[in-house]
Structure 1
Amino acid sequence: MTRAIAIPALEVWAGVECTVNRVGDQYFDQLERNGHAERLDDLDRFAQLGIRAIRYPILWERTAPNERNQIDWTWADERLGRLRELGIRPIVGLVHHGSGPRHTSLIDPAFPEKLAEFAQAVAERYPWVDSYTPVNEPLTTARFSGLYGYWYPHGRDGLTFARALLIQCRAIVLAMQAIRQVNPTAQLVQTEDLGKTYSTPLLAYQAAFENERRWLSFDLLCGRLNASSALWSYLTYLGIEEAELKWFEEHPCPPNLLGINHYLTSERFLDERLDRYPVESHGENGKHRYADIEAVRVCAEGTVGSRTLLKETWERYKLPLAVTEVHLGCTREEQLRWLKEVWDGAVSARREGVDVRAVTAWSLLGAYDWNSLVTRAEGYYESGAFDLRSPYPRPTALARMVKDLATQQESDHPVLDTLGWWHRPERLLYPSVSCPNDFGRQTKTKSQSARLLAIIGARGTLGKAFARLCDLRGIAYRLLTRGEMDITNAASVDAALDELQPWAVVNAAGYVRVDDAEREPDLCLRVNAEGPAILAESCARRGVGLLTFSSDLVFDGSGTSPYVESHAVAPLNVYGRSKALAEARVLKAYPASLAIRTSAFFGPWDEYNFVAIALRQLGAGGRFVAAEDAVVSPTYVPDLVNASLDLLMDGECGLWHLANSGAIAWAELARLVAVRAGFDASRIEACSTQELGLAAVRPTYSVLGSERGVLLPCLDRAISRYFDERQQV
């Protein structure tokens, strides 16, 4: 009688984006950018997620940046020691998209021996470490550094690419040999960004070449590349000596685990019909000119996904696998959908006999400037399981999913009822083409009964904006009129919630006529304070999330620096009092509610905000009058709505301030948009607030800051996007 062998559960690993790439003479260090270089307690945050292992950087450039015998172990000692205390197994990386210290490079023949020397020093210092990735993604790094010229040494030819690839792979072999002299059982976890290429019939030969080339680093390490291979001929044609290739046959170093890094942009489509695609996608191979475009934007069948790539890799190598990077720079629900889809793909592949060991939540702390492939330092930030735009790394909904998968092997959120954008029709930016695949694709179907987000305020600017952006983000919702839910009527609220059973409610309704409120205080208080309190009580009884909005007018303007969430309120007018009362009553009735204060919002989809009115009057040849003594922090509605939805999904509660960073007087704002629109700014008439004759007293300074997190970009960028968006409406 044979006993069944228990298959270990699929593990959740993690990683921090740790690239130290070189562009010219400048190094771009993600660990400095994300602050992990200075925060030891990040490791405790990671441990709370329940992860079993972490891809962790002890990078050559950072640890031994100068002479080879000058190594500073301080940082590595502290971090690896803490990981050991926490019971998290480090998979140590030595080079991550880097080219080494300044005394070497990816085309330095001595690079392999130099890295091996460093690797041995690491192994001797930490003999208990049992897993290494000496060089991350050598093929991808060789392409970016030797073929496309993005990173140092900025090569743009086949030979530089080939040399960079072979030197990195040789460095991996020598590094593992050196490590195993210290720890004979040390494991090689070799990563590579593994995509797939499709094409028109004319370019099938190029697609076939790229689909074979994607295996090069694995083939070299496994000793599989031989003289009968087309890529052997390709490499020797470029100028690589046969002896250099035979060396890998003679010194095989098959990985103990193949790590697949897969991104939505990893799959490509090649098309000779250049007129269909933007100029920046055009290139050539010496025989044909063609566009190289993201397959997800053109292939009718969509991408093959992680399951198919895992199966292809397993069939080729029969070696244990892991998905070693899962990250998507997008809105929160899409990040959740992507991680869950890759996880489900790995589970499915395991059921089909593929030996998949783990899925890695990459970029726990997010990433900087990967929109430019880290060739510029512009501060473009993508959050991850933690959001760094707060005073401390703030866990997001993604952190909760990672923990759920790590501890329960399951995770759920209402937004998962809808497919990710890469499955929806709007993904197709170009005429669609068929991209068949031998391994097939995992069928994805949309839930027939997606759980709803209830949005109150069907006639208002904010309610309509929420509906528009929920459509764009694939968040199922119901936009409610007052007839469908009257928040001042408890019975109406209860009936609507019982019928819809939403997972959360957004209260975007309210009395917004600040001056009329002075004449109608009872109505304003009933709509703005009593209504939200009734709604909060009803949501609390059902455990339904609640997002409601407040205003900068809860402050009296006596301050001279931006107001933060903990500042005492002291409203000057009825409208401000109604909002301050609403905050207090909502958070008392339902402390899990999220109350967002915002200020002077403007957006591209309505014509009744300050900016739109100013442009309309100036466009008609008139003059525009605005106060020059009232300073505010204007808020771009799309930014406000997107950040609010993310916070709602993150489970944030209490008071939050959301406004585009920047302080500006109303008159100056009018001048700024006038100049951007090409109007004569001299037609802006500046006056005092008192001269406007407003019924409600306004604070002279109501700029919003935040002690919880600055999530919105600066005002200047918001205004630029406002004009771009208006052209598309």
Structure 2
Amino acid sequence: MANIELWGGVECTVNRVGEQYFDQLAQSGHARRLSDLDLFAELGIKKIRYPVLWESVAPDHPEQKNWDWATERLNRLRELTIEPIVGLLHHGSGPRYTHLIDEDFPHKFAQYARAVARQFPWVTYYTPINEPLTTARFSALYGLWYPHTRDDASFVKALLNQIQGTKLAMEAIREINPSAQLVQTDDLGYSHSTPALQYQADFENHRRWLTWDLLCGKVNQQHPLWNYLLKAKAPETLLLELLENPCPPNVIGVNYYVTSERYLDEHIADYPWHTHGSNQKHRYADVEAVRVQAASPLGAQKILEQACDRYNLPVAITEAHLCCTREEQMRWFTEVWDAASLLKEQGKNVLGVTAWTLLGAYDWNSLLTQNRGHYEMGVYDLRGGEPARTAVSELLTGIASGAERHPLLQVPGWWNRACRSVYPPSAECPEVWDISLNKSKQGSKLQPLLITGATGTLGRAFARVCDIRGIPYVLLSRQQMDITNEDSVRKALTQYKPWAVVNTAGYVRVDQAEQEPEACFRENTLGPAVLAKICQEEQVQLVTFSSDLVFGGEKMVVYTEQDTPQPLNVYGRSKAEAEAQVLAAMPTALVIRTSAFFGPWDEHNFVYHALKAMVRQEPLEAAADQFITPTYVPDLVNTTLDLLIDAESGIWHLANRGTYSWAEFAALAANMAGLDPKPWLEAVPSAKIGQPAARPMFSGLGTVKRGVLPTVEDALQRFLHATQFPVRPSLPPQEEEVADQSLLSAGA
């Protein structure tokens, strides 16, 4: 691969919605943590897109500026020999004394830029305004951000204000630092369409270049959008001024996302209502091209090549990010990196690829219009309160030097697989990634994940999620690999050569364990210990599962990983002893403690049986004095896989947030399903239920680590949606048998 540079960036948007400002740096905590910069340096990044934002430095008055934060950060970057690409406005409308369609916006902005250059005369690289075209669309054409207008004239005004502001800003900066360089970013996608909407796609495919075309002096009377701009009240004198005195970027900064390419379709009945729009001639849906079976997205390489050819200027990918599972994050970045590297080898002037949102981002699922704290993980994970390294961090550390990549990067990302299609929907698991079935396209050449417990709920759930996520695996029964037998384990590891083992096998009958302690300890303690020993010898990662029943219930507040086990029954003792033996044999093993789980893929869980009883109007007893933290199987499996890919180790608690008695949990599920639990649910003392094995009265799990799962309520909503659990009044007796059949299949 050719030598391109690794760049980085922090999501730093300060956008305005009404009278409220949304500040990404405050949400991520980076505003308070200087130490983050040292973490970034460990990645080996050469340049970083970094904010010195107008709204933050001079929020109340243009003459009242506070440089303390910016000075401390930029000086530290200088010490770390990371070149900052300083941004002055990032999806913002400016401080309260201006806005994007203010006549004086360009001059006010240039004054601020001049002040920044005076304060930091050594800074060479600038992105005065990030994504002017995108910001103008969201603020003045779609009305999502301030000033919330929705017309072409406002859009064009907002765009030209930003372009003129950028030009004036660079002139002001270069008066102080003549060598200052303009790195001009914008989102660059492509619009695909049905034949009937080709005219609209053509318009958008011309519009996507406007930021750079205007700065490069390419918008003349022959430009496809010249008449559009004039019709939208663009001053011809300004267009001619930009034509005669352009401000071409030193670097074209391409921001490309999996959603950047769009598909336009007039058959709106085939798409959800929120995708519908109009251009006064047609009503049509505007959706992600990657989700349309009929579309063929161009991809990062062709998009980047178009930018290189159009401008004949240095080009860089200035944002590369995907909000997804860990392996898909890595697959996306490596695909963009490899595309840029290939173009570099072919002689294109590609400088680098930027790992965007090093710390993640907040509330982009609502396009920053709602402050709900929805977190998208970046290169580092902030869920534990401090930035934690992930597999993405490890990938970046070695990518420029050509270090060996994770085995999961042998598999193409979901955007390249059959499962990408939503319009029309593809099958949930169009490809089977079970290597032993030899049905995946790459077959046995792929290095798999080895999963034990083929007949259990958790083992089957891991296989199902691996199919969805494109993770090659082998699901083994006890007959195929006896985890208590060293020779059997060695034989399986030699045969399949896995990169990791997920152990879901074990003895699960808590009450019966009191009469069968030897069998319980053999399966729950000896088996995991043997796996740990052999995995340590073979240098294969291991994750195994423990239980909330290792605790005695004396706390009455959630147990964390720091609490000492005090099991009350045989099952709990077998799990506690397994934890100790596994970590003694293999300190790098991952041990997951979890609680009573429920899921949408089988009926063997408390929620399903409770709801089924109440739907059938049958009495249900549930303990009112035993408190647990319910755990949703898809959340448990997905998070476990992420932590395993991140090579985490030690004991982790994974359970959904919220602690309930069994009776409270049943009532919550019923209420969310639209049922009235009162006539059928009886909250009783656990002693009345008569469980042979002693249980802790409280075994709620919490965490001091970053394995934070969604709330129990959120999980129940998804469970009910996934199962489409039938909620209906009781049926006449003659219909009861038919109804029972539908109930039995509802959770399948």
Within 5 Å, give how 1:284-323 maps onto structure 2. 284-300=278-294, 302-323=296-317
Q: Which of 631, 638, 652 is equivalent to 1:635? A: 631
Residue 463, structure 1, aligned to residue 456, structure 2: no
Q: Hey, what does 2:60 align to over in structure 1?
A: 66
Look up the SS of the partner of 1:697 in the other structure.
coil
**By how many angstroms is 1:299 displaced?**
4.6
Q: Deviations over 1:395-427 (max 9, x none)?
A: 110001111114x13451111121111011111
Q: Hey, what does 1:423 align to over in structure 2?
A: 416
Counterpart residue type for residue 334 of structure 2: K
Contact residue 546 and residue 576 of structure 2 kept, 8 A: yes
Counterpart residue type for residue 660 of structure 1: N
Counterpart residue type for residue 691 of structure 1: K
**By how many angstroms is 1:8 displaced?**
7.8
Look up the SS of the partner of 1:142 in the other structure.
helix
**In structure 1, how many angstroms separate the alpha carbons of the residues matched to 2:660 and 2:667?**
11
Q: Deviations over 1:652-697 (max 9, x none)?
A: 0000001111111111001111122233311111111122111110
Change (3 A) 1:242 1:105: same
**In structure 1, how many angstroms separate the alpha carbons of the residues matched to 2:219 and 2:320?**
29
Q: Hey, what does 1:161 align to over in structure 2?
A: 155
Counterpart residue type for residue 711 of structure 1: V
**By how many angstroms is 1:391 displaced?**
3.2
Q: Hey, what does 1:198 align to over in structure 2?
A: 192
Q: Hey, what does 2:588 align to over in structure 1?
A: 592
Residue 566, structure 1, aligned to residue 566, structure 2: no
Q: Deviations over 1:322-373 (max 9, x none)?
A: 0000000011111010000000110111122211000000011011110110
Q: Hey, what does 2:370 align to over in structure 1?
A: 376
Counterpart residue type for residue 418 of structure 1: V
Q: Which of 17, 20, 43 is equivalent to 2:14? A: 20
Q: Deviations over 1:204-237 (max 9, x none)?
A: 1111111011000101101111112121110001
**In structure 2, how many angstroms separate the alpha carbons of the residues matched to 1:495 and 1:628?**
48
Q: How many aligned positions are there?
A: 711
Q: Deviations over 1:514-568 (max 9, x none)?
A: 0000000010000000000001111111110101000001010000221111111
Contact residue 192 and residue 295 of structure 2 kept, 8 A: no
Q: Hey, what does 1:694 align to over in structure 2?
A: 691
Q: Which of 721, 725, 729 is equivalent to 1:724? A: 721
Q: Which of 261, 266, 271 is equivalent to 2:265? A: 271
Residue 390, structure 1, aligned to residue 384, structure 2: yes
Counterpart residue type for residue 409 of structure 2: L
Q: Hey, what does 1:440 align to over in structure 2?
A: none
Q: Hey, what does 1:439 align to over in structure 2?
A: none
**In structure 1, how many angstroms separate the alpha carbons of the residues matched to 2:39 and 2:441?**
34
Q: Which of 693, 705, 708 is equivalent to 2:705? A: 708
**In structure 2, how many angstroms separate the alpha carbons of the residues matched to 1:401 and 1:301?**
31
Q: Hey, what does 1:437 align to over in structure 2?
A: none
**In structure 1, how many angstroms separate the alpha carbons of the residues matched to 2:310 and 2:706?**
47
Within 5 Å, give how 1:210-359 maps onto structure 2. 210-300=204-294, 302-359=296-353
Change (3 A) 1:432 1:534: closer
Residue 412, structure 1, aligned to residue 405, structure 2: yes
**In structure 1, how many angstroms separate the alpha carbons of the residues matched to 2:93 and 2:404?**
39
Q: Hey, what does 2:738 align to over in structure 1?
A: none
**In structure 1, how many angstroms separate the alpha carbons of the residues matched to 2:425 and 2:249?**
38
Look up the SS of the partner of 2:32 in the other structure.
coil
**In structure 2, how many angstroms separate the alpha carbons of the residues matched to 1:432 and 1:470?**
19
TM-score for both structures, normalised by structure 2: 0.94
Q: Hey, what does 1:84 align to over in structure 2?
A: 78
**By how many angstroms is 1:474 displaced?**
0.6
Q: Hey, what does 1:496 align to over in structure 2?
A: 492
**In structure 1, how many angstroms separate the alpha carbons of the residues matched to 2:123 and 2:621?**
69
**In structure 2, how many angstroms separate the alpha carbons of the residues matched to 1:332 and 1:558?**
37
Q: Deviations over 1:264-315 (max 9, x none)?
A: 1110111111121111111111111211111111154632111101111111
**By how many angstroms is 1:616 displaced?**
1.8
**In structure 1, how many angstroms separate the alpha carbons of the residues matched to 2:597 and 2:379?**
29
Q: Hey, what does 2:108 align to over in structure 1?
A: 114
Change (3 A) 1:220 1:328: same
Contact residue 365 and residue 388 of structure 1 kept, 8 A: yes
**By how many angstroms is 1:493 displaced?**
0.8
Contact residue 660 and residue 718 of structure 1 kept, 8 A: yes
Task: Decide which moves more: 179-188 or 351-360.
Answer: 351-360
Within 5 Å, give how 1:178-197 maps onto structure 2. 178-197=172-191
**In structure 1, how many angstroms separate the alpha carbons of the residues matched to 2:37 and 2:530?**
42
Change (3 A) 1:658 1:428: same
Q: Hey, what does 1:544 align to over in structure 2?
A: 540
**In structure 2, how many angstroms separate the alpha carbons of the residues matched to 1:317 and 1:40?**
38
Gaps in structure 2 of 5+ consecutive residues = 427-439, 725-745
Contact residue 418 and residue 446 of structure 1 kept, 8 A: no
**In structure 2, how many angstroms separate the alpha carbons of the residues matched to 1:428 and 1:146?**
32
Contact residue 391 and residue 707 of structure 1 kept, 8 A: no
Counterpart residue type for residue 417 of structure 2: R
**In structure 2, how many angstroms separate the alpha carbons of the residues matched to 1:465 and 1:8?**
41
**By how many angstroms is 1:620 displaced?**
2.3
Q: Hey, what does 1:662 align to over in structure 2?
A: 658
**In structure 2, how many angstroms separate the alpha carbons of the residues matched to 1:332 and 1:282?**
32
Look up the SS of the partner of 2:30 in the other structure.
coil
TM-score for both structures, normalised by structure 1: 0.96
**In structure 1, how many angstroms separate the alpha carbons of the residues matched to 2:308 and 2:528?**
56
Q: Hey, what does 2:601 align to over in structure 1?
A: 605
Counterpart residue type for residue 203 of structure 2: F
**In structure 1, how many angstroms separate the alpha carbons of the residues matched to 2:494 and 2:707?**
36
**In structure 2, how many angstroms separate the alpha carbons of the residues matched to 1:244 and 1:272?**
36
Within 5 Å, give how 1:26-175 maps onto structure 2. 26-175=20-169
Residue 556, structure 1, aligned to residue 552, structure 2: yes
Change (3 A) 1:446 1:399: farther
Q: Which of 196, 199, 202 is equivalent to 1:208? A: 202
Alignment RMSD: 1.4
Task: Decide which moves more: 164-173 or 222-231.
Answer: 222-231
Look up the SS of the partner of 1:701 in the other structure.
coil
Look up the SS of the partner of 1:230 in the other structure.
coil
**In structure 2, how many angstroms separate the alpha carbons of the residues matched to 1:409 and 1:668?**
54
Look up the SS of the partner of 1:681 in the other structure.
coil
- Percent of aligned positions that are identical: 56
Contact residue 147 and residue 161 of structure 1 kept, 8 A: yes
Look up the SS of the partner of 1:549 in the other structure.
strand
